[in-house]
Structure 1
Amino acid sequence: MNFSPRLTAFAKEVERDCKPVFERIDEICEYNEARVLSAFMECGVSETHFIGSTGYGYGDRGRDVLDEVYAKVMGTEDALVRHNFVSGTHALSVALFGVLRTGDTMVSLTGTPYDTMEEVIGLRGEGNGSLKDFGVLYRQVDLLENGAVDLAAIPEAVKGCKVAYIQRSRGYSLRESLTVSEIGQIIRAVRSTNPQAVVVVDNCYGELVEKQEPSAMGADLMVGSLIKNPGGGIAQTGGYIAGKAKLVELCSYRLTAVGMGKEVGCTLDQSRGMFMGLFFAPGVVASALKTSVFALRMFEKLGYEVFPRYDAQRTDIIAAIKLGEPESLVAFCQGIQKGSPVDSFVSPEPWDMPGYESQVIMAAGAFTMGASIELSADAPLREPYAVWLQGGLTYYTGKFGILMAAQSMLEKGLLQLPSEE
């Protein structure tokens, strides 16, 4: 690796600062590895469960046991884990269309949802088959000026609603991601006036970061992607919906067909990767968190505003660094790409990405295209010109990627290292 000697020396200083945080991450990782292993043991996972089915997939025991394992890990009654969820947004769309009906109201409690959910809900676009087109009403509780959830406004806002929607991660915003404990506060505010509301949590990027999932606080449905945390960098595609059995059943009817639900759907040759990915997930999530902590501390010491602080309690794998100008965004992402194991020779540029309102630059030299659990960085080309960073299958390769990003900015005259004493 051709790093500036001054950058290498600076990195060692950064790593020393991070050591106590790394120890905390390792302790949580050990706990989560135990709960995943226990789920595999309790469900009697066998080599026979890795055999793929074709056609209708009737009697696919591996598919059913994978659902059982996820339900145990997530602390829920049931789960729907399928390779044919094409993304987290798809899984969220299935969950919302599965639960909501014409005349129902959905309330987002965490401000405007992630960009790709806007067209699903109907905040953008007309006549495309959004929830709005099907007569589902929408309202939201805007965040406070400091980016916090407006707990005081929630009880009134959720009166009469069918779905109370919570986005755990920050998305393309600089608000703090929500800890499981904070999600519990939100759910209690919902239940104070609407105990029947279905609480749906977009759990993307948050799985296995803490010792509990939002289900422990009363969430009715949690939704996520297998090319993020729970796939462990091994699952090639897919997503999950986990929660109350009756609600999961309704979601399965939306994914397949009413009356068929979870009973159909062949697994082809995807089962082994989905089982194995979940098994590896706690350790991979820990590596992603360490990569994130290292990046946050490095750029904080270089004078940039970072979100969250490097030593903050973490509830997801996403970090944001406010770089302040589009040129720095591009240089940072190009450096991440250079430090990737796949397509390191590619130089990413901003483009009009489907589902996003602004041009986006994405660096993701990954074994699985678009996998956010592998080191990646992306940024919409708009104020406040922040880059969002996530992933890292192993800590040391993740660290090298961050150093490549800093080196790229250094070579373009966009970054100033501290003066040597």
Structure 2
Amino acid sequence: MKKWTDNLPDKLVEIVAETDTQIESKLKEIDEQVLFNQQKVLEAFKKNNVSETYFAGSTGYGYDDIGRDGLDRIYADVFKTESAMVRPQIVSGTHSISTALFGMLRPGDDLLYITGMPYDTIQAVIGVSGTGIGSMKEYGIGFDYVPLTDDDHMDIEGLKEKLTDKVKVVAIQRSRGYATRDSFVVSEIADMIKEVRNISKDIIIFIDNCYGEFSETIEPTEVGADIMAGSLIKNAGGGLAKTGGYIVGRADLIEQAGYRLTTPGTGNEEGATLNVMRDFIQGFFLSPHVTGEAIKGAIYTSALLEKMGLDVSPKWDAPRTDLIQTVNFGKPEPMVKFAQAIQHESPVDAYVEPKPSEMAGYEDKVIMAAGTFVEGASVELSADGPLREPYTLYVQGGLTYAHVKLAVTAAVEKTFY
């Protein structure tokens, strides 16, 4: 019988076999996690009586959209919150985060990030980079952040110093973004929330949950977070959602976010869903499985590339809380070559040769490999990163473990053989 490794160099075939043996038990753990999360989603679907009528969508103002309102309830049930807002009018994770923050903050309020400086696109929202037009800074909303400790943990003393009476919202970024730190597992986020509550019971705690949904068996809203936001072209859309984002949390905060997204007085009552509801609902049902496939791919990527002598994070056997796998190449040439190889092993636009280029919201040139069915969908296999030291490539996503394994192995061959 022919094998997928038949045309690979003998040494690489040997390394792949060693990797498969090494990670076998870890992949079984992910299978159990998928079962737990799938059960959680299935129960929410059953509770909310999902039927064919949910898929119809709406036009115009979108009043009385049964599917939209039902999906909101499903998200609230799964994430254990009072309310939820899932909308195609939200164009990205950054837009979802921005909508939530602008909904809560007013001129004179302060926003405090306690997980270090947020990533590039959020910096533009805040107003510490970019033109500043429409940013929080322009509206007189203050911003500060607590740098992480040398070992990349929250600085408790720094938190006590900067958590002033003017701070209305404390923000926690779960994923590493384009930083070199590890992403924060939910147990660490729970400890952060506890420290904040020890200082103030009234602070609103917000979680940027991008890349995190279903990567563990518990979500930040189950350990005390007030509000959380993410993107549907990442985990929660299951590879089917073609746009959209979600915000879940306290009912009053979701109402405020709805007024920011649409208009005061209408909020979540409006917003036509057109023909997206089937994809949104089915995608969320598939999300635990697709997230598990992507995490399996990340585990394989980590183990294989470490065997190639590269610095990887997380390690293959480390706890995982998102889809992101980083690889430090140390110099730009192999980083670009590996990303180009991932593009050439994609189902869409495999013929394209990505080049480092300027990208809106980022300060450095970025190399971006993303041959995806949905443009920019991070739940699908992609590899990107800014061209700055230590030349770190962020490999993430994958609708199937098989595709990640094939693509990453081919990229290793093209880069190192």
* Alignment partner, residue 417 of structure 1: none
SS at match of 1:321: strand
Q: 1:155 aligns with which of 154, 160, 166?
A: 160
User: Equivalents in 2 of 1:155, 1:217: separation in Å?
Assistant: 21
User: Equivalents in 2 of 1:135, 1:323: separation in Å?
Assistant: 41
Q: 1:98 aligns with which of 103, 106, 113?
A: 103
SS at match of 2:292: helix
* Alignment partner, residue 24 of structure 1: 29
User: Equivalents in 1 of 2:380, 2:156: separation in Å?
Assistant: 34
- Percent sequence identity over aligned pairs: 48
Matched, 1:325 2:326: no
Alignment of 1:384-395 (within 5 A): 384-395=390-401
The answer to whether the 8 A contact 1:288-1:391 is kept is yes
Matched, 1:304 2:299: no
User: Equivalents in 2 of 1:194, 1:288: separation in Å?
Assistant: 38
Structure 1 residue 147, shift from structure 2 partner:
2.1
The answer to whether the 8 A contact 1:159-1:194 is kept is no
Decide whether aligned partners of structure 1 residues 359 and 78 sit closer, same or farther in structure 2, where only a CA change above 3 A counts: same
The two structures have a TM-score, normalised by structure 1, of: 0.96
SS at match of 2:199: coil
Structure 1 residue 278, shift from structure 2 partner:
0.4
* Alignment partner, residue 355 of structure 2: 349
User: Equivalents in 1 of 2:375, 2:400: separation in Å?
Assistant: 17
* Alignment partner, residue 418 of structure 1: none
Structure 1 residue 349, shift from structure 2 partner:
0.6
1:110 is aligned with what amino acid? T
Structure 1 residue 401, shift from structure 2 partner:
1.0
Matched, 1:170 2:176: yes
2:36 is aligned with what amino acid? Y
Matched, 1:273 2:279: yes
* Alignment partner, residue 238 of structure 1: 244
User: Equivalents in 1 of 2:300, 2:394: separation in Å?
Assistant: 14
1:140 is aligned with what amino acid? Y
The answer to whether the 8 A contact 2:124-2:132 is kept is no
Alignment of 1:186-265 (within 5 A): 186-265=192-271
197-206 or 296-305: which moved more?
A: 296-305
RMSD: 1.0
Decide whether aligned partners of structure 1 residues 92 and 205 sit closer, same or farther in structure 2, where only a CA change above 3 A counts: same
User: Equivalents in 1 of 2:281, 2:131: separation in Å?
Assistant: 39
User: Equivalents in 1 of 2:261, 2:85: separation in Å?
Assistant: 10
User: Equivalents in 2 of 1:158, 1:44: separation in Å?
Assistant: 44
The two structures have a TM-score, normalised by structure 2, of: 0.97
The answer to whether the 8 A contact 2:15-2:307 is kept is no
1:14-60, CA deviations, whole angstroms, 9 ceiling, x for partnerless residues?
Answer: 11101111011111110000000000001111110100111001111
The answer to whether the 8 A contact 1:148-1:176 is kept is no
The answer to whether the 8 A contact 1:308-1:320 is kept is yes
Q: 2:125 aligns with which of 120, 123, 128?
A: 120
Structure 1 residue 410, shift from structure 2 partner:
2.2
Structure 1 residue 126, shift from structure 2 partner:
4.4
Structure 1 residue 192, shift from structure 2 partner:
1.1
Decide whether aligned partners of structure 1 residues 340 and 127 sit closer, same or farther in structure 2, where only a CA change above 3 A counts: closer
1:148-206, CA deviations, whole angstroms, 9 ceiling, x for partnerless residues?
Answer: 22133223322321000000001111111111110011111111112111111000000
Corresponding pairs, count: 411
* Alignment partner, residue 149 of structure 2: 144
Unaligned stretches of 5+ residues in structure 1: 412-421
User: Equivalents in 1 of 2:10, 2:344: separation in Å?
Assistant: 18
Q: 1:82 aligns with which of 82, 87, 95?
A: 87
2:128 is aligned with what amino acid? L
Structure 1 residue 5, shift from structure 2 partner:
3.3
* Alignment partner, residue 374 of structure 2: 368
User: Equivalents in 2 of 1:136, 1:272: separation in Å?
Assistant: 39
1:208-262, CA deviations, whole angstroms, 9 ceiling, x for partnerless residues?
Answer: 0111100111101110000000100011110000000100000000000000001
